[in-house]
Structure 1
Amino acid sequence: MATVQIDMEAVKLAARKLEAGKLVAFPTETVYGLGGDAENAAAIADIYTAKGRPANHPVIVHVAPEADISYWAADVPAEARALIKAFWPGPLTLILKRAAHVPAAASGGQDSIGVRCPSHPVAQALLREFKGGKGGVAGPSANKFGHVSPTTAEHVRDEFGSDADSLVDYVLDGGASEVGIESTIVDLSRVATHGAVLLRPGQISVDQIAAVLGVAPRSPDAAAPRASGTLDAHYAPRTPVAQVPAEQLADTVKKLADAGYKAAVIYRTIPITASHAFMAMSLDADQYAHDLYAALRDMDHRNADVILVEATPSTSAWQGINDRLRRAAFDSTGILSRLFAS
């Protein structure tokens, strides 16, 4: 990633706050996390309260590069070690059997635990400073539950404000997140019976995972562990979202305008500049992911009636992006039909 200046005084302050049971928002290469001591049940409870997150929805434990993964997991299968060697530090979360001493609160009461090692240098500095590198930081995205994830410190501040009563004690600034969407999540807690299971796609693709394991991860089954960011509705701005094929985008904007509605448009291939608001996005999947949440946040502040997103390719490289867009639009299903009919 781009060179990031590390303010060690800020890092040390953040680590001390975490050690005192406080909540600290911190940067990772994916999105900003809302961190608390993963072994402090009260701190984890504060994370859920601050986010308005259901108590049965697990968080991810972030660990330093030198961490002993077996401290957190009761079993670390060969498949996990292969993926760790290939992709850590990086945007990959592994779901493993939870070690008995790790609070169940971190996994939403399940017998599994999500663990990852971020590659962001500020996150690594924090994890090495916190408990001398021996601890873990439980860190879901630093936003209200279900909202668009933050990719800058300013997004975090916008989300939680400067209210003195906020449970977010400190925001550690590390610049803009490089990846821009949350980590890929692979379940290996049942690998002996179910193999590897992809719970959430991200920048690390199915093809990359298959290249390491020799077989593609399976799709989730009904008994798969609950995992962070996998509810049908998630990552959503307050303005309704609809995905539209490129060839229908201009006509949809016109029909909305004729009906008296304002559209904010996020497009890739066909410039749509006659809309109420618009933003051009990259044709490259990695750059698109980097910009996606910032674009959704921007369009959400344009006082539009709907955000139209040009449909993206269905290839493996776009799987994580399509997953986020599908969840962002889930609660808005049928919005165009309703607007046209009103």
Structure 2
Amino acid sequence: METKQWVVDKNQHNLESYPQIKEAANLLQADEVVAFPTETVYGLGANALSDEAVAKIYEAKGRPSDNPLIVHISTIGQLQQIAQDIPEQAKSLIKKFWPGPLTLVLKRKENAVSKKVTAGLETVAIRMPSHPVALALITASGLPLAAPSANLSGKPSPTLAKHVADDLTGKIAGILDGGATGVGLESTVLDCSGDIPVILRPGGVTKEQLEEVCGVVEVDRAILEEGQAPKSPGMKYKHYAPTAPLSIVNGSMEFIQTLVKEKQHEGLKVGILTTTEGENKYEADQIIACGSREDLESVANRLYDVLRLFDESGVDVIFSESFPSEGIGQAIMNRLTKAAGHRIITE
């Protein structure tokens, strides 16, 4: 399959009228799959109303079919067409955080979207992205778009169009290149279908920010404790992993350096994922700084890009520093832990 690529300036006005957006929208209306930028990561979009279109997402990604997809919308009218019995808490969160990196799990209307989107569940995950290219594409297509991250299943999510092209060229119809994404980690997924909202995936909107709006918010125990069955089906799968085995280290820089030397003595090339504060304090085959420890949002923004850079470096094993688990740090550690396959070394 030929994969078309278009470059779009997200700062232009009336983006939905641009020929690149229109061409991509036409492909979506024809039940093809198109990757596009959001403020979190690049999404792999298809008509959420079409079984045929949604099936192409799963096929392109190699994604398990019991892993539900998030529906992206551009208007509240689309929300009302898809969801029902929307609780007041959810309405308050929508008013505060939409458009933005917050996905809400709500009770779905009968036959509102393809059952392949919801993996047979009675709920549907919905968000309104804030990226102007994403909103323009949804508007131009006139469709709600099912859109997981635009990467091969299990690989680090894409924050650049190049990442999408590396994974999916020849597998999808098109890629809209709107430059680098913003947050760098996927949206927070909040289940609002019960009495108390539950975070199923930490992301760009933190637990603390949510609680300022709607009071008590719980966190799925599977996020906090290894071995717990996740409430969100997709969270049971390995995600975000670089090619080389990754281990998270809870320990001093000296301890990490000892681990590096042990692997080098075995003849292996070793990479270290650190921050700007630590990049000049190690000796290894590849040292990559992932933002600043003083600004965890910068770490979130660069995390997936750094994991892909390790793939390009050809290292055999990677050691990563750990991060605080408060605020956006919870999302960072969630992604790192999954990328590491729960391999954690404690000094």
Fold match by TM threshold 0.5: yes
Match of 1:197 in 2: 198
Deviating above 6 A after TM superposition, structure 1's stretches of 4 or more consecutive aligned residues are: 221-224
Structure 1 residue 226: Cα displacement: 2.7
Q: Is the 8 A contact 2:257 2:282 kept in 1?
A: no
Shift of 1:330: 0.9
Matches within 5 A, 1:76-87: 76-87=86-97
- Asked if the contact 2:300–2:328 (Cα under 8 Å) also holds between the matched residues in 1, the reply is no
Among the aligned pairs, what percent are the same residue?
Answer: 39
Name the SS of the counterpart of 1:35 in structure 2: strand
2:193 corresponds to 1:179:
no
Tell me the equivalent position of 1:5: 11
Contact 1:96 1:187 in 2 (8 A): yes
Q: How far apart, in 1, do the equivalents of 2:47 and 2:111 lie?
A: 14
Question: Are residues 26 and 276 of structure 1, via their aligned partners in 2, closer, same or farther at CA, if it must alter by over 3 Å?
Answer: same
CA 225–108 in structure 1, closer or farther in 2 if over 3 Å, else same: farther
Aligned to 2:80: 70
Asked if structure 1 preserves the Cα contact closer than 8 Å seen for 2:183 and 2:204, the reply is yes
Equivalent of residue 270 in structure 2, options 244, 263, 269: 263
Say whether 1:239 aligns with 2:208: no
1:160/1:330 Cα in 2 relative to 1: closer, same or farther (>3 Å)? same
Deviation at 1:220, TM superposition (A): 4.9
Query: Could you say what the CA RMSD is over the residues aligned between the two structures, in angstroms?
Result: 2.0
Q: Which runs of 5+ in 2 are unaligned?
A: 1-8, 223-227
| 1:275-310 alpha-carbon deviations (Å, 9 max, x no partner) | 111112222111111101000000112111111111
The DSSP-based 3-state class of the residue aligned with 2:218 is: coil
Aligned residues: 322
Counterpart position of 2:44: 34
CA distance in 2, matches of 1:292, 1:94: 24
1:324 equivalent in structure 2: 335
CA–CA distance in 1 between the matches of 2:230 and 2:191? 8
Question: Is 1:243–1:310's contact at 8 Å kept on the other side of the alignment?
Answer: yes
Local SS of the residue matching 1:330? coil
Aligned equivalent of 1:128: 139
Q: Are the aligned partners of 2:33 and 2:57 in contact in 1 as well (CA < 8 Å)?
A: yes
Quote the offset at 1:173 in angstroms.
0.8
Cα drift, residue 128 of structure 1: 1.3
CA offsets 1:68-104 (integer angstroms, 9 cap, x no match): 4221112211111011011100000000111102221
Structure 1 match to 2:225: none
Q: Among 110, 113, 136, which residue is 1:100 paired with?
A: 110
Q: CA deviation at 1:312?
A: 1.2
**Alignment-derived partner of residue 144 in structure 1:** 152
In the TM superposition, residue 119 of structure 1 has moved relative to its aligned partner by: 0.5
Residue 304 of structure 1: SS of its match in structure 2?
coil
Task: Judge conservation of contact 1:153–1:173 (CA < 8 Å) in 2.
Answer: yes
Tell me which amino acid in the other structure corresponds to 2:284: S
Q: Aligned in 2, Cα 1:246/1:171: closer, same or farther, shift over 3 Å?
A: farther
User: How far is 1:313 from its partner?
Assistant: 1.6
Shift, 1:156, TM fit = 0.3
Distance 1:216 1:226, change over 3 A: closer
For the residues of structure 2 that align with 1:223 and 1:76, how far apart are their CA atoms? Answer: 26
1:214 corresponds to: 215
- In the TM superposition, residue 5 of structure 1 has moved relative to its aligned partner by 3.4
- Letter aligned with residue 194 of structure 2: R
Q: Which letter maps to 2:287?
A: F
Deviations 1:158-205 (A, max 9, x none): 0113x3xx2x100011110101010000001223xxx11110001211
2:192 equivalent among 184, 188, 191 = 188
Normalised TM-score (structure 1): 0.89
Task: Tell me the TM-score normalised to structure 2 length.
Answer: 0.88
Could you give the per-residue CA deviations for residues 206-230 of structure 1, whole angstroms, max 9, x where no partner exists?
11111111112343588975355x2
Task: Name the SS for the 1:100 alignment partner.
Answer: coil
- Counterpart code for 2:10: V
Instruction: For residue 258 of structure 2, give the secondary structure of its aligned residue in structure 1.
Output: helix
* Counterpart Cα distance in 2 of 1:12 and 1:267: 42
Instruction: Report the counterpart of residue 340 of structure 1 in structure 2.
Output: none
In structure 1, C-alpha distance between the alignment counterparts of 2:63 and 2:136, rounded to whole Å? 27
